[in-house]
Structure 1
Amino acid sequence: MPISPNQGSTGGGTLVTITGTNLSGTTAVKFGSKSATSITNVSPTQVTAVSPSGSGTVGVTVTTPGGTSNPIPFFYVGAPFKSGIGPVSGPLEGGNTVTVNGVGLSTATSVSFGGVTATPTVVSDTQLTVTVPAGAAPGPVGVSVTTAGGTNNGLSYTYVDAPTVTTVAPASGPTSGGTGVTITGTNLDTTESVTFDGTPAPFSVVNSTTVSAVTPPGAAGAVDVVVTNAAGSDTATDAFTYVAGPGI
């Protein structure tokens, strides 16, 4: 006499289907010593019921006018606990993979990003991976994981748009570096790196349209300035010119 699903939340409320024989006239379904609710006799071979609260592994029995069945195991599962997610941001169009760490993740069936669900790949009871669905708009969204034990919230993921660079000012400076420049554009508040001719530069985010950076040393000539975030990069071609100092 199988039961499906054979596991559910410790808080109860799991609708289970029990199949067997001679189930007509079912008067009770018990999970251990506790009675199930919302018992429905679907057919002589099938009964549905809603599990009560419980813990551990219990035997489920069905009682009819003919007697009580042998017990079949049902496993109570606690709600998942999430300890972290990484990376914590990605492109608005989704498609990247994130890892969720925690406890009680082995029965995970879905992960929600701001209400949009995705099906995870369970690695272990403490880890799962999931492909991020597309977001509705840039910005943070709540992340929740649903398992047989329930749903747990508390994590955040940020959708970002790729940056654009419109100006770099001043547009020139010495080859020794050290020039403070202001980069303007869009979606710059999630900037992760700024490079001049491929060399990383120290930077600070001012707001979504402005980033300040300090030029690293470079060879004389015009170089590309590249701004990168989790969604991609934008290149300002030949946007800064290194100028060699005078020689006597």
Structure 2
Amino acid sequence: MAPVVNSVTPNQGSSAGGTSVTISGTGFIGSTAARFGGTPAAGFVLVSNTKITAISPPGVGTVNVTVTGPTGGSTQSIPYTYVNAPAPVIAALVPNTGQETGGTIVTITGSGFTGATQVRFGELTSTFTMISGSQLTATAPAAGAGPVLVTVTTPAGTSNPAPFCYFAATAPVVTDIDPSQGPLAGGNTVTITGSGFTGATQVRFGGLTSTFTVISGSQVNATAPGGSGTVPITVVTPGGSSTGDVFYDYVAAPVIVSLNPSEGPSFGGNSVTIVGTDFTHVTDVFFGASPAPFSIVSDTQIVATPPAGAGTVVVTIASAGGPSSPGAPYTYL
């Protein structure tokens, strides 16, 4: 039985030839040639009984595509149109690597992309968005680790191939965070360091998601959401999730209840006991605007040494949980 051609994809290409065309039909086993009008294809690969890939030869106008088999040629009139336009050209892929799980957004720059009908990563087709005749973005499909060739196809033909390399997907690893403590209300910026952060899709503080920015494959800056207690930090990428072995502490703001004594000499130097709550993570003590040396006795008591001063000032303390509110008055004699 003679082969039967049902369709050709794409059905247009450059008058200079060189377009990769998929010919679909039946009865292709044993076929020896494909023709564009009266001209043999520049390349011919028998894929299966229903599929052939051929490279269009140079030509003009609209011609019929036929396949020649052992018992004769196909007789259907399946048109292919030559267009007088340059084939697309790929100049660069950014990025030119991505995880084998796919999903990497690749910006393709070059020329002749207007009317693009297909973007391929190796043998796999990709979803893509046309930005302009010189730029489009494509989503890398999932594939095995290793290099593939990316091509763009338009009615004028198929572009030169550009290399893209898939690397094995690995789960991210969080090794450190700075700071590791913050206020219950959240809102502070936490720098997360580790590896495998490229393409991160989520950062979690315990069960709460965070807004974040990927700085590099080894650093993410995240804004802590409001929370409480000690929670694990988790980074999620297409390669998996980190194990949550690094923790972040939510700290309550300190509260000052009393000062003993609440007055002292103008030259300072005496000891003042500050009584209150949530003092464990205190970082600074101030008498007015002046810092004072101090020691943390317990979560409810601090001993501070006032600096020299005059009049009545407000004593405040600062901690990872934020500043104390309100402060307490201290009078210089």
Give yes or no for the alignment of 1:97 onto 2:186: no
In 2, Cα distance between equivalents of 1:178 and 1:57: 69
1:206-217 alignment, distance < 5 Å: 206-217=297-308
Counterpart in the other structure of 1:109: 201
In 2, Cα distance between equivalents of 1:230 and 1:237: 17
C-alpha displacement at 1:183, in angstroms? 0.9
C-alpha displacement at 1:58, in angstroms? 7.0
TM-superposition CA deviations, 1:90-122 (whole Å, max 9, x none): 111212221112221112111121222224221
C-alpha displacement at 1:75, in angstroms? 3.8
Q: Can you give the 5+ residue segments of structure 2 that lack an aligned partner in the other structure?
A: 1-97, 103-141, 149-163
C-alpha displacement at 1:237, in angstroms? 5.2
CA contact (8 A) 2:262 2:331 kept: yes
Counterpart in the other structure of 2:258: 167
What is the TM-score normalised by the length of structure 2?
0.49
Counterpart in the other structure of 1:201: 292
Give yes or no for the alignment of 1:191 onto 2:282: yes
CA contact (8 A) 1:93 1:133 kept: yes
Consecutive aligned runs of 4 or more in structure 1 exceeding 6 Å deviation: none
Counterpart in the other structure of 2:215: 123
Counterpart in the other structure of 2:179: 87
CA contact (8 A) 2:316 2:323 kept: yes
Q: For 1:148, which of 238, 243, 247 is the aligned residue?
A: 238
Counterpart of 2:331, as a letter, is T
**Larger relative contact order, structure 1 or 2 (CA cutoff 8 Å, min sep 6):** 1
What is the TM-score normalised by the length of structure 1?
0.65
Alignment RMSD (CA, Å): 3.3
- Residue identity over aligned pairs, in percent, reads 41
CA contact (8 A) 1:117 1:133 kept: yes
Counterpart in the other structure of 1:57: 146
Over alpha carbons, which structure has the higher Rg?
A: 2
In 2, Cα distance between equivalents of 1:170 and 1:185: 14
In 2, Cα distance between equivalents of 1:142 and 1:150: 16
Counterpart of 1:134, as a letter, is G
What is the total number of aligned residue pairs between the two structures?
188
CA contact (8 A) 1:223 1:237 kept: no
